[in-house]
Structure 1
Amino acid sequence: MKFFLIAGAVNAMLSVAFGAFGAHLLEGRIADKYLDTWQTAVQYQMFHSIGLIAIAILMSSSLIGNLGSLSWAGYLMLAGIIIFSGSLYVLSLTGISVLGAITPIGGVAFIAAWILVVVAAAKAL
């Protein structure tokens, strides 16, 4: 629980920092399509940072007793941030298009994480 709360908060902070970096330092220095890609990475990082914080809160509550599903969801969400957003950040800065093939792996991790949150909630009700 503590790990996911810290990971969520750190990633939310990084998302804000990367968003500011993109808006103030990258604009005009990289192609617009890569700036859009950067913004997508920032948005997904923030959405899933909030997801990590929600998982930490759910794990600490007595509402959901199935901590295994939530724990897996948290790890998958963190992996998704690293793979999805990370690959898009590197793609935006380098233009290495092969990185676009890695990004969907992070997307699948996000989807699986949210499915596990649903599973944990369904088992609790």
Structure 2
Amino acid sequence: MDAFIWHKVAAISGLAALGLGTYGSHGFKPQNPSYKQVWQTASLYHLVHTAALLTAPITKHPNIFGGLLTAGIVAFSGTCYTVAFLEDRKYSTLAPFGGFAFIAAWGSLLL
């Protein structure tokens, strides 16, 4: 697989991160204000790890690094967005797996 595919994945993720972040800042009005912070956390992790995704092609194992970051974004940020939007923490079961994927991605740089 061409390592530069991760730039396209990062572009899609970046578009989503900015769109969801903008919605969270200007349009998201949860009944329970604590869910606003959950959305902001999702947005921060989404954007930071999207920026890191841009570096995947220059790593020794771009598909491992990029795949783990993408899995982390989907599992962690996606779960947090869902929890915040639905205002229900019962949907939070995948978030820890996303966190572990982020940790594994950064750890993979040591290989």
**Both structures adopt the same fold (TM-score exceeding 0.5):** yes
Question: Partner letter of residue 44 of structure 2?
Answer: Q
Question: Do structure 1's residue 6 and structure 2's residue 5 form an aligned pair?
Answer: no
- After superposition, the CA RMSD in angstroms is 1.4
List aligned pairs for 1:81-100, cutoff 5 A. 81-100=73-92
C-alpha distance in 2 between matches for 1:30 and 1:48? 29
Shift of 1:89: 0.6
Question: Do structure 1's residue 48 and structure 2's residue 37 form an aligned pair?
Answer: no
Aligned equivalent of 1:23? 25
Question: Partner letter of residue 109 of structure 1?
Answer: A
Shift of 1:13: 1.6
TM-score (norm 2): 0.90
Structure showing greater Rg? 1
C-alpha distance in 2 between matches for 1:9 and 1:80? 16
1:110 to 76, 85, 102: 102
Aligned equivalent of 1:77? 69
**1:26 alignment partner, SS class:** coil
Percent of paired sites with the same residue: 28
**Cα gap change, 1:30 to 1:15, in 2 (>3 Å):** farther
Shift of 1:76: 0.8
Aligned equivalent of 1:33? 34
TM-score (norm 1): 0.80
Question: Partner letter of residue 35 of structure 2?
Answer: Y
C-alpha distance in 1 between matches for 2:47 and 2:67? 16
